[in-house]
Each structure stands twice: as structure tokens, then as C-alpha cells.
A and B are shown apart, each in its own frame.
Chain A
Amino acid sequence: MDIIETKHDSYSVFKLTGRLDSNTSMGFEQQLFASIDSGARRLIIDFEGLDYISSAGLRVILKATKNLKTAQGKLVLCAMQDYVKEVFEISGFDSFLPIESSLEAAVTRL
């Protein structure tokens, strides 16, 4: 999986490409939390290029959501393929995580 982090003035975007599974989730967790630890509070994860997610990926996203809630930050997800979005819905994650259809909408939602 490729992870590209882009820092803007008031938020950061993580663009994921490939597969987020048990094999790749640890690298993603390290990069995401390095950003949070260095002070990032408003984050967007762009799923447009993501083909696959398993519960290992959900675990990292739940952990980041809890962490950012404590720090009074915000996490918005965007541009998921339909079947990836369904994993979030089946898991009930759509009840506490904003999921937008595009990056532009996610920036507005932050």
C-alpha cells in the first residue's frame, strides 16, 4: 500500500492506494500516529485509490478516531469504493465517522 501525506495550513490528507490489511496496517498506523503525535488534529483519509480493507484497517481507524476525539480533533474519510464503504456500514463505523463522497466535500466537513 502507498501512503501519501499532504499537509495543508489547517489539515492533513492521507491518500491511500492499494490494500489496507494486517500486512500493511502497521505501517499506516505508524505514519498516521506520527502525524497526530506531532500535533495534527484535523485529518482526512482519502480512500479513492484503496481497493481493499480488512478489520485490521478498521482497527487503526477506530484507534485514530478515539485518539483525535480525546485531543478535540476531527477525522473525515472520503471517496470510498462502494464495497469498501459497505465494510464501514456493516461494522457500524458509519455511525460515528463522517464519510464523504469526495475530497472537496471532506474538506468542507472538517
Chain B
Amino acid sequence: MTTISFELDTKLAALDVLCEQLEHFCAATGIPKKQKFEINLALDELFTNILSHGFRDARPHRIQISVSHAPRVVTIVIRDDGIPFNPLKAPAPELKCPFDDRKVGGLGIHLIRSYIDEMDYERCGRHNVLTLRKFLKN
């Protein structure tokens, strides 16, 4: 099994660090471009969600991420010390409504659900711990 662990600052520029880390990880494990894109997108949406809603103080925070590759499955764990937030309970967006009523809210979570096969949420003490599993099809 190959695992990488890293921390991201709570600022948008950290998205570039996330991208670089995933580039290295996917090169080392042979994960193809499309799956790399999907993993990057899921992590990006979760990270930006935590940034937008997770913190109510101005203190610096760090978001811890680990990504592991075992045969046919990638497991991602994201840990933050923001306010309790379970993305599994977020409402699904309205995708079929008339164009004029379309909103972007909730689309991030919808994309995560589309690209990730399993998600578990736990509140551990002062931390949100979200575990994602993506199965790699042949």
C-alpha cells in the first residue's frame, strides 16, 4: 500500500499544494488521469467547503489529509478542527428545476457523491474526520 500524508493551510492557494501532492501520488501509483481528476475534484470541493463554513475564528488552522492506494481502492481521510459538519447530511441540489431557478449551492457535494463510492463521517473530539473510498475499476 502507498500512502501520502500532508497538511494544507486554510487559504485557497493551498489548492495548488493539493494538486501537486496528488500529481506525485498518482504518478507513483499509476492512477490514470481521469481518476486523478475525480479524486482532486472531490478533495477540492471538501477543502473549499471547510474553508467557507468550517471556521468561526481568525486563528490559523491546518487541514490534515492522507491518501492511500491499495489494489483497486483509494482511501482518503480528511481531518479538520472546524465546527461539526457532516457533509453526508447536506441536501442534494435541485438539478432538474427551470434554468432561471438554478443555483450553484450544493453542487460541490453533488460532485463528491458522484465521484466517490463510500463516505463515512465521524466527530472525534474537536475534529471532523471524513473518510472517502473510491474503487478503481479496470
* A23 close to B13 (CB less than 8 A): yes
* B102 close to A22 (CB less than 8 A): no
Q: How large is the interface on B (under 10, 10 to 19, 20 to 34, 35 or more residues)?
A: 20 to 34
Q: Chain B, 104-138, contact with A by CB distance < 8 Å: what is the 0/1 string?
A: 10011011001000000000000000000000000
* A22 close to B12 (CB less than 8 A): yes
Which of A19, A59, A91 has most B Cβ within 10 Å? Answer: A91
A54 at interface (Cβ–Cβ under 8 A)? yes
Task: Show 30 residue pairs from A and B whose CB-CB distance is below 8 angstroms, ordered by the A residue.
Answer: A21-B48, A22-B15, A22-B48, A23-B15, A52-B19, A52-B37, A52-B41, A54-B41, A54-B45, A54-B48, A54-B108, A54-B111, A55-B45, A55-B107, A56-B48, A58-B104, A58-B107, A59-B104, A62-B104, A65-B99, A66-B100, A82-B34, A83-B37, A87-B41, A90-B114, A91-B110, A91-B111, A92-B95, A96-B99, A96-B102
